[in-house]
Amino acid sequence: MAVRLPKAVRVCALVFAVLSACVVITACGSGSSSGPPSGASSLTVNVTGVPSGTTASVIVTGPAGFSQTISQTTTLTNLTPGAYSLAAPILPPASSASLTVPTYSSKPVTVSAGATATSTVAYGSLPLKWQAIGPKAIQTTYLAGTYGAGQIGAVAVNNATPSTIYVACAGYTGPASTTGVYKTTDGGTTWTSSNTGLTDPAVAAVWIDQSNPNILVAGTMNTGLFRSTDAAATWQVVQTNFGVTKAGITTPGQTTSLLQVGAALYAGTAEGVAVSQDEGATWSLEEPTPAPVGSLAVSGTYIYAALLGDTQVQVVYQSAPGAAWGSNSTPASLTWGNSISADPANPLHAIVVEQGYYQTPDLWETFDGGHTWRVNSNTPGWGGSQWVAFDPSDSTGNTVYTGGDYYFYGSNDSGLTWTQLTSAGDLRTIVPQFAGIKGMTVAGSDQGIYSSTDGGNSWTSLNGDLTTSISYWVDISGNTIFLAMQDYAPIISFDGGNTWKGSWGNNAICGEGGMVLINPGNPQYVYFYSGACGFWVSADGGVDFQTVPILNAPQFPSGNGQVVAVDSQSPARVYAAAQAWNGIPQGIYESTDNGIDFVLKWPTDQVPSLIAFDPTNGQNIFIGAVDGSLQVSHDGGKTWTAIMLGNSGTQNEPVPSWPVSLSINAANPHLVMVGMSGPPQQNDGGVLISSDGGNTFTSASAGLGPNPLLYPQPWPDPLFAVAYDSSGSGLTAAARWDGIYLSSDNGAHWVSAQGNALPLAFTDVKWANGNLYATTFGEGVVQLPVKIQARRTAVPER
């Protein structure tokens, strides 16, 4: 059926209060018009604030197919009366610290018969100064009331002053977090980001020179090896590759591990085992390997390197410095050596983790120096090991630990038998004899960094104000910030990010992502939905939650899509997308009591991936599905029209592409933007835009290139979220695994808004309180004040 177009919304004009050379724009007026003597209709577009050396490009569109691009103040004549829209791209940035962004005095502007309308496009500066606001010091009942942070997978400590610790995290054992390097000098009470010159924040390994603790080396997943000579105040890249790159290796400098053996420093890289004899200043490739190195270990003079990849060689080894390297002769089922540790009492004995995400068996060991390997027949638990470590302070070699997702075991007989210990979370690294202290063990996990002095029976948080959280989805209402987090279930702040809560009574900590939503019409109702936890609802603003049995796990479909929605014009009506499970049919479920009870409203043939409502007209409803389709209704769900936007995986476009987010421009509801799960280099991936209320879509991905996160990830390249600024600025934000982007012309051009934000991976965006908020893998939630400073005249950039 035909789309019922809403009347054009008149937008507040911008008045310039000149305080100095730069001013902050605030909204207060409206477009103006006066009767021209000729009686013809016309539109004067004033273009101001264009920096010297750049050229504006303002597209004016209107009735009867009118479209014209102007670059300076222009009067358009002989126009058909009606509403005219203005769209101008963000100008090329002079630096990564700010963007030159257009603002509009009226958008759209109405041109009346026989009158001249006036509108202004004013360019101003938007500083890209992001602030990480948490979560930090998360209050949780986990680990008997300790505090949590985010993923930690690499730890280095100054043994002479154990209160000085460095942490980072990136790698294969979990989400692709990019935290950079954080440093504490007070044992974990306060942490600071130490990343000047560290152009790759995907840090997988950190080493400190104990003889000169000002020297550190960091191994990264995309670039290679960095070195600092001033205790991490600054970094310099020292090695990015080791000669001719092997086929299939796209990041030749990728470094996952660092190991000191005597005066030599070894690095496990994508091309093999590298060595430095000068404290990491220069490097050479000592042993090329058929697959990237995942982990290194040493006992005596014996060095082991476990490889990542399905090759016929899984472990290489060297019996003494300068000796020839050998390899195992029985590949069998051992294919992915994520972590390896050598027995300090017996160099011929080593244990390696076959990391396959709950691989069974998961622990293998050698008793002949790596020639042959056998399964550790007493492997504990359910195949969840991701890390293994002998305690070097036990000269007998009897003490060894292994752990993974909420899984921690210890052995007092060199791995013959195992005892379950208290876990410090989703373990990513285990460091016995921390700082050279016998009996001190430190664990890095998805919940932060913890220490134990009793062999892992109890743990103490070292997280302090560390902000390295893995956040998936965010919603904001006033001072309330609500998050879906990796493994924590929802996290909430009631004071704008100063303090955070993560304890929910009888509801266990759970969740691999998920979606959160605060009811825009009644903020006392708050919703959380994930595959591990199911659907939770709070009727007291997020203080306490109850579950909704009919939407129990694992009904959360399609990763972390926009699968909960509220009809903003009837806020008691809440909708949730669910896949078939345990005899419950799939489709869109409806609640008429603010999300307390649900019934199936619209069954779907395909697993739904998105549900959204037009904020200006609840009759306009959108349902996305994993086959790439979008169902559109303009009559409140009585009738539907199917549009095929993506694909479920084809030979030409192997990455499935389906709608995961949808945003409608409240100032012009004809504009509908969709974020797809497929990468923008696919014809049906990236961002799609509709200018007719969702009836037809075209690609809007210019500037969103292929994802530069080249190392393997557990997801493809989804564009998780797109969001129009509801204040009417004309800006749109997009969050992707490779960064954060802004557009001021409805996605025709996207520009990176990374600025000083540290992580590479962004997962959600929201506009609220005059700020842009984004969730990240590695820095929690970051906040950008959107205050555009306009020039009175165009002046050269200095």
Backbone φ and ψ of 63, nearest 5° = -60, 160
Percentage of residues in the chain with pLDDT exceeding 70? Answer: 86
Q: What is the mean pLDDT of the chain?
A: 86
Residue 62 counted as domain residue: yes
Separation of alpha carbons 282 and 236, rounded Å: 12
> CA 37, CA 33: separation in Å to the nearest integer?
13
The pLDDT of residue 362: 84
Reported as a single tens digit per residue, the pLDDT across 353-370 is 887 666 777 889 999 999
Res 8: pLDDT: 33
> Of residues 5 and 654, which shows the higher confidence score?
654
In a domain, 763, yes or no: no
- Per-residue confidence at 344, pLDDT binned at 50, 70, 90? very high
In whole angstroms, what is the distance from residue 592 CA to residue 258 CA?
57
When mean pLDDT is compared across 201-205, 252-256, 376-380, the lowest value belongs to 376-380
CA distance 480 to 496: 6
pLDDT more than 90, % of the chain = 61
* d(C-alpha 83, C-alpha 646), whole Å: 32
Dist. CA 572–CA 594, nearest whole Å: 4
Give the residue from 122, 97, 128, 129 showing the smallest Cα distance to 790: 122
Burial of 781 (C-beta count, 10 Å sphere; 0-12/13-18/19+): buried
Q: Which of 313, 274, 311, 270 is nearest to 293 (CA)?
A: 270
Contact 404, 385 (CB under 8 A): yes
User: Of 114, 111, 125, whose CA–CA distance to 54 is shortest?
Assistant: 125
Q: Is residue 253 part of a domain?
A: no
CA atoms within 13 A on the CB side of 665: 31
Rounded average pLDDT over 584-598: 95
Residue 484 DSSP SS3? strand
Tell me if 303 sits within 8 A of 315, measured CB to CB: no
Collapsing DSSP to helix, strand or coil, 753 comes out as coil
Phi, psi of 126 (to 5 degrees): -115, 100
Smallest Cα–Cα separation from 737: which of 138, 250, 222?
A: 222
CA distance 171 to 175: 8
Q: Residue 322: count other Cβ atoms within 10 Å of its Cβ.
A: 8
What whole-number distance in Å separates Cα of residue 505 and Cα of residue 509? Answer: 10
| Contacts made by residues 211-218, CB under 8 angstroms, sequence distance 24+ | 212/279, 213/158, 213/160, 213/161, 213/164, 215/279, 215/280, 216/156, 216/166, 217/258, 217/265, 217/267, 217/276, 217/279, 217/280, 218/168, 218/181
Kindly report, residue by residue over 535-580, the tens digit of the pLDDT.
999 999 998 889 898 988 665 544 568 999 999 899 999 999 998 8
Q: Which residues span the domain enclosing 85?
A: 13-127
Instruction: Give the span between the Cα atoms of 453 and 443, in whole angstroms.
Output: 12
Strands 337-342 and 325-327: unpaired
HEC string for 447-460: CEEEEECCCCCCCE
Q: Report pLDDT digits (tens) over 477-502.
A: 999 999 998 877 788 999 999 998 87
Q: What is the spatial distance between Cα 441 and Cα 147, in angstroms, rounded to a whole number?
A: 18
Q: What pLDDT, in 10s, does the model give residues 288-328?
A: 998 889 999 999 999 999 998 766 678 999 999 889 999 87
731-785 pLDDT, tens digit per residue, is: 999 998 888 999 999 999 999 999 999 888 899 999 999 999 999 988 999 999 9
User: Tokens in use for 438?
Assistant: 């016998």
CATH number of the domain to which 119 belongs: 2.60.40
Q: Is the pLDDT of residue 19 over 70?
A: no
The answer to whether 568 and 578 have CB atoms below 8 angstroms apart is no
Which pLDDT score is estimated for 332? 52
Q: Are 23 and 790 in contact (CB under 8 A)?
A: yes
3-state secondary structure 552-610: CCCCCCCCCCCCEEECCCCCCCEEEEECCECCECCEEEEECCCCCCCEEEEECCCCEEE
Could you tell me which residues come within 8 angstroms of residue 370 by beta carbon, excluding any fewer than 6 positions away? Answer: 304, 315, 316, 317, 326, 327, 328, 350
Alpha carbon distance 127, 118 (integer Å): 28
Residues in the chain: 798
SS3 assignment, position 549: helix
In a domain, 25, yes or no: yes
Q: What mean pLDDT is predicted for residues 161-173?
A: 88
**Phi and psi for 367 in degrees, rounded to 5?**
-120, 10
75 inside domain: yes
309 Cβ partners below 8 Å, 6+ apart? 290, 291, 292, 335, 336
Who contacts 483 (Cβ-Cβ below 8 Å, separation ≥6)? Answer: 135, 471, 472, 473, 474, 490, 491, 492, 516, 775, 780, 781
723-738 pLDDT, tens digit each: 999 888 889 999 988 8
| pLDDT for position 678 | 83
Domain assignment present for 43: yes
Stretch 427-436: mean pLDDT: 93
64 is a domain residue: yes
Q: How far is CA 23 from the centre of its chain?
A: 33
Backbone dihedral angles phi then psi of residue 726, each to the nearest 5 degrees: -70, -10
Q: Are 464 and 188 in contact (CB under 8 A)?
A: yes
Q: Is the pLDDT of residue 722 over 80?
A: yes
CA 689 and chain centroid, separation:
23
Overall domain count for the chain: 1
Give the chain's radius of gyration (CA, Å): 28
Please classify residue 500 by burial: count the beta carbons closer than 10 Å to its beta carbon, then call 0-12 exposed, 13-18 middle and 19+ buried.
buried
Whether 122 maps to a domain, the answer reads yes
473: three-class secondary structure by DSSP = strand
- The mean pLDDT value for 228-240 works out to 97
CA distance 355 to 384: 8
Contacts of 145 (CB under 8 A, 6+ apart): none
Reported confidence tier of residue 43, pLDDT bands at 50, 70, 90: very high
Q: What is the mean pLDDT of residues 115-134?
A: 94
